[in-house]
């Protein structure tokens, strides 16, 4: 079966119809898990199925141990509260990990300190541990916000342009002193976009700090769910190397596969089986370019595609199994980071069994917006 070990970031909840399409190419798909599996886990039967088949692999760099139960109750409490979670997320993301000089290590006004005490989480008074708890909460609240934002987007976008036009035509002469409700909807969507962009950077920083607690799983590429998160790595690469990362190519993917998890799994595995030669060809090209030493810019051999048409064959197979007019399209844009494997660039602990995926250069991809047919 096809294999291309990939680490997804900064999302930590991947079992949904938006992320299942990634598995047609990026499998096994590794992801960071804030809370290790165990009693009280909210994994659905669908999620367990994908894990059992080896298409997804969870990585928990900072397991909670005895604090797992209290922390789960803390998350449930946060999810049920009516307070503005965006404000709470921003407070967590901007709160310093230690108090000003002269204060106790844990300022009793700290939101992190308050929540840990309230739900009976046992912790020490070290700055590093408070920072770790803070990062866990940032990622957990980001998951909750993702779910709420997606639900709101679905409700807002269910109103088509034709429906809005029809509704407006039925209205009496508008009162200039009254606010147009559809303009308000547009402002809500704009605020969601701004909030999402601002939160992505904070989320990535928290994700990376947690990831550094253990060696990362051996993977061949990193995949960002947003361009903004990938930009954090691309900017770091430019600051360290003094040059831009090298764009390689775009790979077409379905934008969504809306069906039951079991049926989605069957379709993905059937597609993987049908595209074995194509997938192997693309992966071989990526491995070749990521392992070539020295890397010489501006020569044809250093770019993709070079001498092959695997990407075109892939797109043809995709059209047969996941038609664009039914499943939509999104692109995964690949970049090469010459002379900087990602674990070294981001100062991560050495990966166990690193020889398995040893490469001279880093491979980074990010998802682009879905294409409409």
323-361 residue pLDDT tens: 999 999 999 999 999 999 999 999 998 765 554 556 899
Tell whether the model's pLDDT for residue 163 goes beyond 60. no
Q: Given this model, what pLDDT does residue 358 score?
A: 67
Sequence spans of domains, the chain = 6-61+214-367, 65-206
Classify 102 in phi/psi space as left (phi over 0), alpha (psi -120 to 50) or beta: left
User: pLDDT tens digits, residue range 253-266?
Assistant: 999 998 888 999 99
Cα of 365 vs its chain's centroid, Å: 11
Q: Please answer whether residues 84 and 103 qualify as being in contact, where contact means their C-beta atoms are separated by less than 8 angstroms.
A: no
Cα angle for residues 61, 65, 66 (degrees, 5° grid): 155
Q: Please answer whether residues 134 and 95 qualify as being in contact, where contact means their C-beta atoms are separated by less than 8 angstroms.
A: yes
- Rounded CA separation 252/312 (Å): 9
4 by DSSP, 3-state: which?
Answer: coil
Q: Which two tokens stand for residue 355?
A: 């020889």
Q: Please answer whether residues 362 and 336 qualify as being in contact, where contact means their C-beta atoms are separated by less than 8 angstroms.
A: yes
Q: Given this model, what pLDDT does residue 100 score?
A: 42
- Rounded CA separation 364/230 (Å): 8
Confidence of residue 6 (pLDDT cuts 50, 70, 90): very high
More confident residue, 185 or 210: 210
- Rounded CA separation 39/240 (Å): 44
The DSSP bridge partners found for residue 32 are 59
Q: Count the Cβ atoms, other than its own, within 10 Å of residue 256.
A: 18
- Rounded CA separation 107/111 (Å): 9
Q: Please answer whether residues 228 and 197 qualify as being in contact, where contact means their C-beta atoms are separated by less than 8 angstroms.
A: yes
Q: Please answer whether residues 130 and 113 qualify as being in contact, where contact means their C-beta atoms are separated by less than 8 angstroms.
A: yes
Mean pLDDT (whole number) for 313-317: 96
Q: Given this model, what pLDDT does residue 193 score?
A: 55
């Amino acid at each position: 079966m096809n294999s291309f070990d990939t680490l997804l970031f900064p999302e930590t909840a991947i079992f949904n119809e938006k992320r299942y399409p990634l598995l047609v190419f990026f499998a096994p798909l590794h992801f960071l898990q804030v809370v290790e599996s165990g009693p009280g886990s909210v994994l659905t039967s669908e999620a367990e199925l994908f894990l059992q088949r080896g298409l997804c692999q969870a990585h928990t760099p900072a397991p909670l141990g005895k604090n797992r139960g209290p922390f789960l109750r803390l998350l449930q409490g946060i999810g049920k509260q009516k307070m503005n979670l965006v404000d709470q997320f921003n407070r967590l993301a901007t709160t310093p990990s230690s108090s000003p000089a002269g204060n106790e290590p844990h300022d009793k006004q700290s939101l992190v300190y308050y929540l840990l005490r309230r739900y009976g989480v046992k912790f020490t008074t070290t700055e590093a541990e408070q920072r770790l708890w803070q990062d866990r909460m940032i990622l957990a609240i980001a998951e909750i916000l993702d779910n709420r934002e997606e639900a709101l987007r679905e409700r807002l976008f269910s109103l088509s342009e034709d429906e809005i036009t029809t509704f407006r035509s039925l209205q009496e002469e508008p009162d200039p002193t009254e606010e147009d409700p559809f303009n308000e909807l547009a402002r809500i969507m704009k605020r969601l976009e701004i909030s999402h962009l601002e939160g992505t950077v904070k989320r990535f920083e928290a994700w990376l700090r947690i990831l550094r607690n253990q060696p990362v799983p051996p993977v061949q590429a990193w995949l960002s769910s947003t361009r903004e998160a990938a930009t954090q790595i691309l900017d770091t690469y430019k600051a360290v190397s003094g040059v831009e990362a090298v764009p390689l190519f775009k790979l077409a993917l379905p934008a969504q596969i809306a069906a039951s998890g079991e049926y989605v799994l069957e379709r993905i595995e059937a597609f993987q089986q049908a595209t074995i030669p194509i997938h192997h060809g693309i992966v071989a090209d990526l491995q070749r370019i990521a392992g070539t030493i020295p890397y010489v810019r501006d020569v044809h051999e250093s770019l993709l595609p070079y001498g092959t048409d695997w990407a075109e064959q892939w797109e043809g197979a995709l059209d047969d199994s996941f038609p664009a007019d039914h499943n939509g399209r999104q692109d995964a844009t690949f970049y090469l980071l010459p002379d900087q494997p990602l674990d070294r660039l981001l100062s991560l602990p050495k990966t166990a069994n690193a020889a398995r995926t040893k490469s001279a250069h880093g491979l980074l991809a990010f998802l682009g917006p879905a294409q409409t047919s």
